[in-house]
Structure 1
Amino acid sequence: MAPVTEERTAVLDLDAAVAHVAGAALRDGPVGAVGLELEAHLVDLDAPAHRVPWARVTAVVDGLPVMPGGSRVTLEPGGQVELSAPPCPDAAAAVAALRADRDVLAAALAADRLAVAPVGADPLRAPRRVCPAPRYAAMEQHFAAVGCAEAGTAMMTGTAALQVNLDAGPRGRWSERVSLAHRLGPTLVAVAACSPLAGGRPTGWVSQRQRVWGDLDQARCGPLLGGADPAGEWAGYALTAPVMLVRDGDGGGAVPVRERVRFADWVTGDAPLGGRRPTTADLDYHLTTLFPPVRPRGYLEIRYLDAAPEPWWPALAAVTATLLDDPVAAGSAAAATEPVAGAWDRAARHGLADPALHAAARACLAAAVPAVPPALRAEVEALADLVDRGRCPGDDLLDTARTAGATTALLSATGDLR
């Protein structure tokens, strides 16, 4: 928890709010460090069609040892488990740390007949919140009030992602780098697609996770525009985005905002919320409720990849980092993805069956393979072969569901955590 200081409790004006967000958006420096976060759906191996009760989830997680790779273990509102590893010198070290922590987590879960399925959307169980925290109850109520109740609940409780965190890089290249991170999005959504099922049935979309994000309020979840001043653009985005909830005192309570109120209007007093004006602490909390596909947090959070089983998530982590950090690969990727920049819905629905996305994906993988860390080259070559064949990680899941049912598909997705 951030310390309570005079700065954090002072009432904001618009200039101070803009300066605060823009000043923290991106940190000037070299590239190279990689942090990884992997979410997965928790599965009761004896009752896979049912969500694991919250008390059982928290009991297992509370009993975990310290992770050898340094990951934090946290829980999402539907009971998804997330491993968040600290920054490492490169993608190979980040993958090694997360794999070590994944193995410890898997052993602890197995002792209680639990496992995790790292796929982009729960293929079997209907979205349902099991976490009682006021924050998530308020989020549900806000999503319902602004017209995206179904997508909001599905996002919180039925999706899982691989997040790749990368340095912002040198100040003079921020615009180019943030633009490329967005331009890569649709192509990597198609490459990573691993969520073709929901509610026990094929959805007709290769990435149900990305479909859900596309159905949410785009003022909160849509991409940045990729202008010349990404830090300033992020500040504008944040102040224009609607306030989702207002924290109620120090007790952890949260009051949902049931109408569209821009944070800027709360700052100016045009739309008072909670009987007061916002503070810097309120602004920082507001930023945690914004979910663009690339989120600036001093570094870049790449948030658009489906969670996927081995060997795909390590390959996706290496490819994403390489296409942004290696200058030669980045140049090739920028050119290859230009024709499909912005094709988020096409990527989520059709994936590599779209000829233009397939061509961009093949070019990106060809650029990445020679530049990835040697320790991950085998995984990346396997992904390149998969892409060449026009397949994505979710195709095996879909094949299993069609031949043996969605329950078997869900259980098969737990197989990489032994």
Structure 2
Amino acid sequence: MTASAARDLDDAVARIAGSALRPGPVGRVGLELENHLVDLADPGAPVDWHRLTRSAAGCGPLPGGSRITFEPGGQVELSAPPADDVAAAVLGLRADQATLGAALAADGLGLVLLGADPLRPARRLNGAARYAAMEAHFAAVGCADAGARMMTSTAALQVNLDAGPAADWSSRLALAHRLGPVLVAVSACSPLLAGRAVGWRSSRQQIWGELDSARCGPLLTGDDPAAEWAAYALAAPVMLVRDPVSGAAEPVRGRVPLADWVTGETRLGDRTATDADVDYHLTTLFPPVRPRGYLEIRYLDAAPEPWWPALAAVTATLLDDPVAADRAADACTPVADRWSDAARFGLADAALRTAAADCLAAAHDAAPPALRAEVGLLRELVSRGESPGDAVLRQAGSADPLAVLRAALDLPGGTP
């Protein structure tokens, strides 16, 4: 490696580590909620892309300020601005979800809150260059099926939290990861996928587990999480190269670590990586907890009311309330590495169920009063060894995919 290449690599390390986490107090919460979209007259059919974008655009500015975006399979995502606490975040997102749902319902469309589409096969509707390149890259590196299902058939609730004081980053990141298997089991709401039961309580998490661990696996959460994030990012393969003028995206059809592009060991797009390339590469990495100045908690299934507000409250409380955090850390330690078991067995696993019950008790004691009823309902569900997916199956009256899809519809004016 030349001196220039070493300097470029050092610059990339400093850039990535420097943007990983911002020091400050904890408390603010941002929420992102993905919805599957269905035609109410024909729920088993894909929704025409132009129809869904036109209908969503017609709802105008949302009262809580959420941004509307569209995932590759036509899933509609609401990204709410940060609020002062989780109660305010839920209040704002609920208002935006209701406003969007009413606008779509007027056009015969409905929002479905489930971790995976229970009925329709994977199909990409969003023609954005980024998603076409993602699809091609996943196919080239040997995870075409999982990549297509992740992009088009899954939906999540994402909880964004302040990074907190720098002295606490290591323990805070470690707890966010340690909570992962328990909250995967608690949030599990995707027992069906593409028309059949797949034998997993969270097929969404199962799909993520099949993807490239260098891009989607958890961080190690050692003593220096910012430096660890830089090492993770530089080792991860580059997914696509964007043309700096046209914005076109070309997939990388192989495994080229970012470090090799930065140093010039491998040239992509007939050039070495720029600062903009490094920054964009970070948006193509999907660990279960992603540092973006704040913490993105990415491992929760989307679930219908009252479950997603309860899950948001539980996640924020267990990480931001110091007493609840200590109780959760103790409860989760015995099952901290059981991601796959959590997705497959959920709360049917005795150890995960015990840890979940302890975490829900801690969260209920410290939850904001405005959300304590929802957290209480989730605590009761967990005490029975059930997750939101079980509640949806019970409401549907069967495991018929169409009935499950209808049971999870988030219609204006109440449940269907």
TM-score tier after normalising by the smaller chain length: over 0.9
Residue 371 of structure 1 is matched in structure 2 by 366
Do residues 132 (structure 1) and 127 (structure 2) align?
yes
* Aligned-pair CA distance for 1:399: 4.0
Q: For 1:272 and 1:370, how far apart are their aligned partners in 2?
A: 55
Q: For 2:352 and 2:398, how far apart are their aligned partners in 1?
A: 28
Do residues 193 (structure 1) and 200 (structure 2) align?
no
Q: For 1:404 and 1:175, how far apart are their aligned partners in 2?
A: 42
Aligned residue runs from structure 1 range 165-180, under 5 A: 165-180=160-175
Q: For 2:406 and 2:380, how far apart are their aligned partners in 1?
A: 25
The percent of aligned pairs where both chains have the same amino acid is 67
Residue 45 of structure 1 is matched in structure 2 by 40
Residue 344 of structure 1 is matched in structure 2 by 339
2:50 to 23, 46, 55: 55
Do residues 216 (structure 1) and 211 (structure 2) align?
yes
1:355 to 323, 344, 350: 350
Letter paired with 1:70: G
Q: Check the 8 A contact 1:18/1:235 in 2, yes or no.
A: yes
1:388 to 383, 387, 393: 383
For residue 157 of structure 1, give the secondary structure of its aligned residue in structure 2: helix
Residue 304 of structure 2 is matched in structure 1 by 309
Residue 87 of structure 2 is matched in structure 1 by 92
Q: For 1:412 and 1:118, how far apart are their aligned partners in 2?
A: 10
Q: For 1:179 and 1:288, how far apart are their aligned partners in 2?
A: 22
Q: For 1:395 and 1:191, how far apart are their aligned partners in 2?
A: 11
Q: For 1:340 and 1:190, how far apart are their aligned partners in 2?
A: 11
User: What are the superposed Cα offsets for residues 125-153 of structure 1, whole Å, 9 maximum, x if unpaired?
Assistant: 00110011111011000000000000000
User: What are the superposed Cα offsets for residues 70-91 of structure 1, whole Å, 9 maximum, x if unpaired?
Assistant: 1001100100000110000111
Residue 26 of structure 1 is matched in structure 2 by 21
Q: Check the 8 A contact 2:101/2:410 in 1, yes or no.
A: no
Residue 151 of structure 1 is matched in structure 2 by 146
TM-score in terms of structure 2 length: 0.96
For residue 13 of structure 1, give the secondary structure of its aligned residue in structure 2: helix
Q: Check the 8 A contact 1:139/1:244 in 2, yes or no.
A: yes
For residue 34 of structure 2, give the secondary structure of its aligned residue in structure 1: strand
Query: Aligned residues, how many?
Result: 408
Q: For 1:68 and 1:190, how far apart are their aligned partners in 2?
A: 32
Q: Evaluate the alpha carbon distance shift between residue 388 and residue 404 of structure 1 in structure 2; reply closer, same or farther with a 3 A threshold.
A: closer
User: What are the superposed Cα offsets for residues 59-111 of structure 1, whole Å, 9 maximum, x if unpaired?
Assistant: 11222211110100110010000011000011100000000101110110001
User: What are the superposed Cα offsets for residues 297-350 of structure 1, whole Å, 9 maximum, x if unpaired?
Assistant: 000000000000000000000000000000000000000000000110000000
Letter paired with 1:77: P
Q: For 2:190 and 2:398, how far apart are their aligned partners in 1?
A: 17
Q: For 2:344 and 2:400, how far apart are their aligned partners in 1?
A: 22
Q: For 1:41 and 1:345, how far apart are their aligned partners in 2?
A: 24
Residue 3 of structure 2 is matched in structure 1 by none
Letter paired with 1:196: P
Unmatched runs of 5 consecutive residues or more in structure 1: 1-10
For residue 289 of structure 1, give the secondary structure of its aligned residue in structure 2: coil
2:116 to 107, 116, 121: 121
Letter paired with 1:296: P
Q: For 2:376 and 2:118, how far apart are their aligned partners in 1?
A: 27
Unmatched runs of 5 consecutive residues or more in structure 2: 1-5
TM-score in terms of structure 1 length: 0.96
Q: Evaluate the alpha carbon distance shift between residue 181 and residue 404 of structure 1 in structure 2; reply closer, same or farther with a 3 A threshold.
A: closer
Letter paired with 1:237: Y
* Aligned-pair CA distance for 1:249: 3.5
* Aligned-pair CA distance for 1:115: 0.7
Q: Check the 8 A contact 2:117/2:193 in 1, yes or no.
A: yes
Q: Check the 8 A contact 2:26/2:162 in 1, yes or no.
A: yes
